[in-house]
């Protein structure tokens, strides 16, 4: 599966995340949002990578984003990591996911997966069925660029 555009989206996301440091003057709400986003993305990529392994093993994949939306899990990650460590988690988990989905054949890309969505409070929202290609397209066009824009907007204007 071609992930060139998604790779570019992650590159922009990481640039935006790295532009923020522990010394960047952010109000508490903005700092919390930055921390949350980085943990959420790292967790989501791990979930999707695990589902990609299921697909490669011949099983129907389930992408359940609950752990990446779980307030307690994210709070625990935030309290036990630094901003650079969170960025590294995103980078590392994305690299693992990219390696897996780059091996996908066109058949794998069209395979159906079950997507179970939860809101930011970890509460169940919906289930849907889509292809891997559709999931990757959503991450390429909406999910990762949305987080990148939020991180870029977190930076104070000079």
Q: What is the pLDDT along the chain (158 residues), one digit of tens a residue?
A: 999 999 999 999 999 999 999 899 999 999 999 999 999 999 999 999 999 999 999 999 999 999 999 999 999 999 999 999 999 999 999 999 999 999 999 999 999 999 999 999 999 999 999 999 999 999 999 999 999 999 999 998 75
Q: What is the pLDDT of residue 57?
A: 95
Give pLDDT, residue 157. 75
pLDDT at 158: 57
Phi and psi of 32, rounded to 5°?
-60, -40
Structure tokens at 65: 């984003």
Can you say whether the dihedral through the CA atoms of 69, 35, 80, 51 is positive or negative? Answer: positive
**Angle 144-154/4-18 helices, nearest 10 degrees?**
20
DSSP state of 22: T
Q: How many domains does the chain divide into?
A: 1
- The CA-based angle 51-96-139, given to 5 degrees, is 65
The predicted structure's pLDDT at residue 10? 99
What confidence score (pLDDT) does residue 109 get? 96
Query: What is the number of other CB atoms lying within 10 angstroms of the CB of residue 3?
Result: 20
Predicted confidence at residue 53, as pLDDT, reads 97
**pTM greater than 0.85 (yes/no):** yes
CATH code: domain of residue 93: 1.20.120.450
Q: How far apart are CA 149 and CA 39, in angstroms?
A: 16
Structural domain harbouring 135: 3-154
Would you tell me how many other CB atoms lie within 10 Å of the CB of residue 134? Answer: 16
């Amino acid at each position: 599966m071609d992930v060139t555009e998604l790779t570019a989206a992650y590159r922009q996301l990481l640039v935006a995340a790295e532009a923020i440091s522990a010394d960047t003057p952010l109000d508490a709400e903005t700092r919390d949002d930055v921390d949350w986003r980085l943990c959420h993305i790292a967790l989501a990529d791990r979930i999707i990578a695990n589902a990609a392994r299921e697909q490669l093993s011949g099983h129907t994949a389930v992408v359940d984003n609950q752990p990446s939306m779980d307030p307690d899990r994210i709070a625990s990650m935030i309290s036990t990591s630094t901003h650079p460590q969170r960025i590294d988690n995103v980078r590392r988990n994305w690299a693992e996911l990219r390696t897996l989905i780059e091996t996908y054949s066109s058949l794998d890309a069209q395979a159906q997966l079950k997507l179970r969505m939860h809101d930011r409070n970890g509460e169940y929202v919906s289930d849907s069925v889509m292809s891997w290609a559709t999931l990757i397209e959503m991450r390429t066009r909406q999910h990762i660029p949305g987080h990148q824009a939020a991180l870029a907007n977190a930076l104070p204007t000079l």
